[in-house]
Amino acid sequence: MKKTFPGGVHPLPSLHQGKPLTNDLPVKSFVSDTVCIPMNMHIAAAPSKPVVKKGDHVLMGQLIAEAVGPRGVPVHASVSGTVKDIGMVQQLGKTTSQCITIENDFNDEWVELKGLGNVENCDPEQIIPAIQAAGIIGMGGAGFPTHFKLQVPPDKKVDTIILNGAECETFLNADHRLMVENPVRIVDGLRAAMRAAKVEQGYIAIEDNKKDAIAAMEAAAKGRKGVTVVTLKAKYPQGAEKQIIKAVTKREVPSGKLPADAGCIVMNVATAAAVADAVIDGKPLVERVTTVTGKVREPANLMLRVGTIFLDAIGACGGYSVEEPGKIIAGGTMTGICAPNDTVSMTKTTNGIVVLDQQEATSLEESSCIRCGRCVEVCPMHLNPYRLKNLCDANLLKEAKEDHIMDCILCSSCSYICPARRWIMSSIKNARELIAQRGI
């Protein structure tokens, strides 16, 4: 019996066609001539502080910005070359962010790396500092600092680490390809995380539409202590933190609490691979697999350096296949952020660049709610999306909060399923911003 959670949607083949575009293409490496690395790729901590100056020569993996505060994450040079500029650039954030632009000399000279060696024999106390030093953040999209996630507060009891290989988003195959091509690293990363957080159980959860990934991961997990591969039903949002915990362990994260309150830590498979690199080789996080797909000439899974500019990445895939792209989305089409243009750069969390044409990008006109209740059926958090939308539109924020608007995971299943094409998720997201701002 395949494991899953109640609710959720099955995106139509017309949207899911994105997956077959790239699901059996091996990961190619691509390096651009400049990278523009933002200092605020992570959440939950202040932006990192640059430690290089304009004109400095940097080596690959060299520390270019140091962590600020205990949750902070350092940033490393993703190419070797010269620092061309340090300045404020409008990236995908709400406002401009400080960015370091480095011109690549294509020598790929690494700084001296010092790892801890084998994940099974190294000192578990040193794993978390190694992860922090490598600048690892959650690579599934949110960008929560991994070293902080693995430091379980003493009042919480965590017994399970779940590696999220569900990749339920449309179009994306970055995690899928990583699992097929580099399964041992992922298992190593999981073991390192398990030892660091003193956890005995580790699961690698994969959706059943990735048979080759399941086979590869099962082979790699064989004989490793406490590691189990779990097959999940292919459904959106299977890869959401709370849903994957529910599917794998049947536990529910209490309202307003963190996964640690349900005894779980959830990490992306790409994060686990980065953890393995950091622990075994001492290699900082400077590159990741990103699916560049949609209306590009040759969709591909690329190993891109952090800070690669979207246009360069799209250029590596033969450029746009349409005259003028309608939308460029950082991430998948369900939860991704729409980029204002193609000059923004990818971060440690960019798992996909999806180009849509004008027709695909057209927003649909809203109409009145027909009370069919489908949004209620699909809501993975058991909320009443139609009611929340009405409350938000009437500006009844206090009532919306009482109806648990803050528990919404913004998966947009409700907007997707709505036959009246109501913009439910947008309303909810807007209202949540207002609630946070006004402190209701």
Partner 1 sequence: MNFMPILYALLALGALGAIFGLVLDIADKKFAVETDERVAAVREACAGANCGACGYPGCDGFAAAVVAGEAPINGCSAGGAKTANAIAAIMGADAGSAEPRVARVLCQGEIGTAKERYRYDGYKSCQMAAQMVGGPKMCPYSCVGLGDCMDVCKFDAIHIENGIAVIDPDKCTACGMCEKACPRHVIRVMAKDANVIVRCQNSDTGRVAREACMKACIGCKRCEKTCQYDAVHVENGFARIDPDKCTRCGECAKNCPCGCITI
Q: Which stretch binds partner 1 (CB under 8 A): 23-31, 301-309, 378-386, 423-431?
A: 423-431
Cβ-based nearer residue to partner 1, 182 or 412 = 412
Q: How far apart are CA 137 and CA 144, in angstroms?
A: 5
- Report, in Å, the least distance between residue 322 CB and partner 1: 16
Using rule CB under 8 A, residue 423 touches partner 1: yes
State yes or no: residue 430 binds partner 1 (CB under 8 A).
yes
Q: Does 386 bind partner 1 (CB under 8 A)?
A: no
**Is there binding between residue 340 and partner 1 (CB under 8 A)?**
yes
Residue placing its CB nearer to partner 1 in the complex, 70 or 340? 340
Residue 206 or 425 having the CB closest to partner 1: 425
Residue with tokens 């690892």: 136
Buried b (16+ CB within 10 A) or exposed e, 190-218: bbbbbbbbebebbbbbbbebbeebbebbb
Decide: is 412 part of the binding site for partner 1 (CB under 8 A): no
Q: Based on CB atoms, which residue is closest to partner 1, 86 or 197? A: 86
Stretch that binds partner 1, among 72-80, 149-157, 184-192, 331-339 (CB under 8 A): 331-339
Residue among 90, 201, 343, 384 that touches partner 1 (CB under 8 A)? 90
Kindly tell me which residue out of 96, 107, 118, 126 binds partner 1, with binding defined by CB under 8 A. 96
* C-alpha span between 351 and 339 (Å, rounded): 14
CB of 94 to partner 1, least distance (A): 5
Residue partners of 128: CB distance under 8 A and separation at least 6: 147, 150, 151, 196
What are the tokens at 53? 């100056």
Is residue 309 within the footprint of partner 1 (CB under 8 A)? no
Nearer to partner 1, 142 or 152 (CB): 142
Shortest distance, position 429 Cβ to partner 1, whole Å: 7
**DSSP calls for 47-69:** PPEE---TT-EE-BT-EEEE--S
Quote the least distance from Cβ 338 to partner 1, whole Å. 7
Tell me the backbone φ, ψ of residue 71, rounded to 5 degrees. Answer: -90, -10
Name the phi and psi angles at 206, rounded to 5. Answer: -130, 140
| Closer CB to partner 1, 335 or 427, in the complex | 427
27 is written with which tokens? 């990961």
The correct pick among 31, 79, 192, 339 for binding partner 1 (CB under 8 A) is: 339
- Which one among 16, 251, 401, 429 touches partner 1, defined by CB under 8 A? 429
- 338, 396, 406, 435: which one contacts partner 1 (CB under 8 A)? 338
Could you count the other beta carbons within 10 Å of the beta carbon of residue 247?
26
Using the rule CB under 8 A, which residue among 95, 121, 255, 368 binds partner 1? 95
Should residue 427 be labelled a site residue for partner 1 when binding is judged by CB under 8 A?
Answer: yes
The DSSP code for 110 is B
From the list 53, 94, 250, 371, which residue makes contact with partner 1 (rule: CB under 8 A)? Answer: 94
Beta strand 227-232 pairing with 264-268: unpaired
Q: Which stretch binds partner 1 (CB under 8 A): 86-94, 115-123, 139-147, 398-406?
A: 86-94
The half-sphere exposure of 291 on its side-chain side, counting CA atoms within 13 A, is: 32
Q: DSSP state, 259?
A: G
3-state secondary structure of 161: strand
Going by C-beta distance under 8 Å and a sequence separation of 6 or more, which residues neighbour residue 382?
6, 7
Nearest residue to 229 via CA among 195, 255, 201, 205: 205
If you count them, how many residues does the chain have? Answer: 440
Contact footprint for partner 1 (CB under 8 A):
90-96, 337-341, 344, 362-363, 423, 426-427, 429-430, 433-434
